[in-house]
Amino acid sequence: MPGTLYLVATPIGNREDITLRALRVLRECTVVAAEDTRRTGQLLQHFGIRKPMVSYFRFNEARRSAEILGRLRAGETVALVTDAGTPGISDPGERVVSEAIAAGLRVEAVPGPCALVAALTASGLPTGSFHFSGFLPFKSGQRSRRLDALLSMPGTLCVYESPHRVGRLLEELATRAPGRRVVVARELTKRFEEFLRGPARDVSAELQRRPRKGEFVVMVEPAGEDAPEAGAGRGDAGGPDVSEGPPGQA
């Protein structure tokens, strides 16, 4: 019988967020396909799991996908993991899933941590309808056109951004959507988890005074939402609302 490809979500920060099912699958699988074998090796070691690993990342997806399909046809079970979060969500995984399904092989999701879901549910913005667009293009022209199109879509806009470009994104939002609330989440589930909420200009200024580490989730309220009155939800200094989570296990 062919094996199963398991898409295993792994912690985005706090290791306590891993699920019991994820641990069972990692213990029982034949091999772990990892975006970064060193990082996944540390996770497996933390939970006392010893498994052979193969690398599966952006630049070897084609070759590794063929290898993984071969393993599945031979009856092996493969657990696919990324550095953090859910495979296929702005991380490797989409290609091998598509090819496995096309080949008639079994694919199962082992749900768990996802930065998008963690950030959106705690953002305070509408969650009934939202649009996720991963990372924006790097080139200015493509980025500008993409951002304009996204801001016209219904629902809360959610994107990922690197620490090197998040300041630029907030400046772009301040120009294009000055009346909308913006929420920036950083260090999710970690000790210094933080949410910055307010107009883009205020959040951008506050972010300049804070460490920029890891990836950010940036969310923008839908067009047409009633913006809060000036000063609402802010401190006496008139800056953005800042909330910090309790200490977590990195």
Domain's final residue, options 47, 77, 110: 110
How many domains, the chain?
A: 2
CATH of the domain at 64: 3.40.1010.10
Report if residue 149 sits inside a domain: yes
Report if residue 63 sits inside a domain: yes
Report if residue 120 sits inside a domain: yes
**Are residues 131 and 80 part of one domain?**
no
pTM of model > 0.75: yes
Residue-level pLDDT at 245 = 59
Domain around 191: 115-244
pLDDT in tens, 188-236: 999 889 999 999 999 988 988 887 888 899 999 998 765 444 333 333 3
**Are residues 219 and 138 part of one domain?**
yes
Report if residue 129 sits inside a domain: yes
List the 130-135 sheet strands across, edge first: 130-135, 156-161, 216-220, 182-186, 194-198, 241-244
pLDDT in tens, 76-103: 999 999 999 999 999 999 999 999 999 9
Report if residue 250 sits inside a domain: no
pLDDT in tens, 150-180: 999 999 999 999 999 999 999 999 999 998 9
pLDDT above 70 covers what percent of the chain? 90
Q: Are 64 and 70 in contact (CB under 8 A)?
A: no
**Are residues 104 and 186 part of one domain?**
no
Domain's final residue, options 94, 110, 126: 110
Report if residue 11 sits inside a domain: yes
**Are residues 233 and 121 part of one domain?**
yes
Residue-level pLDDT at 227 = 47
Report if residue 192 sits inside a domain: yes
**Are residues 129 and 101 part of one domain?**
no
Which residues lie closer than 8 Å to 128 by C-beta, 6 or more apart?
155
Residue-level pLDDT at 248 = 53
Could you tell me the pLDDT band of residue 241, with boundaries at 50, 70 and 90?
A: confident
Placement of tokens 């993991």 in the chain: 81
**Are residues 94 and 134 part of one domain?**
no
SS (H, E, C) 133-169: EEECCCCHHHHHHHHHHHHCCCCEEEEEECCCCHHHH
Domain's final residue, options 80, 95, 110: 110
Distance CA 51, CA 32 (A): 7
**Are residues 158 and 122 part of one domain?**
yes
Judged by DSSP in three states, 207 sits in helix
**Are residues 51 and 123 part of one domain?**
no
CATH of the domain at 183: 3.30.950.10
**Are residues 167 and 82 part of one domain?**
no
Neighbours of 169 (CB within 10 A): 22
**Are residues 77 and 166 part of one domain?**
no
Residue-level pLDDT at 244 = 64
**Are residues 216 and 161 part of one domain?**
yes
Report if residue 124 sits inside a domain: yes
**Are residues 119 and 233 part of one domain?**
yes
